[in-house]
């Protein structure tokens, strides 16, 4: 299953890039100036490119559906109550941490990058005070 997925995704990427180049090439190579009639070559490149991009997107959709179906059938894509409770606990801890930082005095300046002294820790001649 993995080799088939990698080949399908690689094929889709290559086809999508080729299609994108075909769509953009009339303007990138100067084959068509804006405001003029569309020559047959430009029409062919544009429509071929749009078709290849659509084909690549269809391939991505099919591969995504196959991967999700495989994961569901193997039981790996089921929702876990432990995962949900862990995510809720992490979100609550982050919220509490942010609320504590917002209520701390002097929090208007924001966090200091590591290794940089705040204005109160620096000397007037630009050197840092140690301890």
Render pLDDT for 45-77 as a digit per residue (tens, 0 to 9): 999 999 999 999 999 999 999 888 888 887 766
If we measure between CA atoms, which residue out of 13, 25, 10 comes closest to residue 52? 13
> How far is it, in rounded angstroms, from Cα 31 to Cα 21?
13
Q: Is residue 101 part of a domain?
A: no
> How far is it, in rounded angstroms, from Cα 19 to Cα 15?
6
Which whole-number Å values give the CA distances from 38 to 18, 19, 51, 54, in the listed order?
21, 19, 18, 22
> How far is it, in rounded angstroms, from Cα 79 to Cα 52?
36
Q: Is residue 14 part of a domain?
A: yes
Q: Is residue 127 part of a domain?
A: no
CA 27, chain centre distance (Å): 27
Q: Is residue 36 part of a domain?
A: yes
Per the structure, the count of domains in the chain is 1
Q: Is residue 45 part of a domain?
A: yes
- Report the range out of 25-29, 53-57, 71-75, 118-122 with the highest average pLDDT: 53-57
Q: Is residue 130 part of a domain?
A: no
Q: Is residue 32 part of a domain?
A: yes
Q: Is residue 51 part of a domain?
A: yes
pLDDT number for residue 11: 93
Higher-confidence residue of 19 and 124: namely: 19
Whole domain around residue 60: which residue ranges?
2-74
pTM of the model: 0.54
**Beta bridge partners of residue 122, listed in sequence order:** 128
């Amino acid at each position: 299953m993995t080799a088939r997925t990698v080949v399908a995704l690689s094929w889709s990427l290559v086809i999508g890039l080729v299609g994108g180049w075909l769509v953009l090439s009339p303007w990138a190579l100067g084959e068509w100036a804006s405001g003029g009639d569309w020559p047959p070559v430009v029409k062919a490149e544009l429509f071929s490119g749009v078709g290849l991009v659509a084909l690549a997107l269809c391939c991505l959709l099919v591969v995504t559906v196959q991967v999700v179906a495989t994961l569901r059938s193997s039981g790996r894509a089921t929702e876990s109550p432990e995962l949900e409770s862990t995510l809720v606990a992490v979100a609550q801890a982050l919220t509490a941490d942010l609320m504590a930082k917002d209520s701390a005095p002097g929090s208007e300046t924001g966090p200091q990058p590591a290794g940089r002294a705040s204005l109160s820790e620096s000397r007037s001649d630009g050197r840092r005070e140690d301890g």
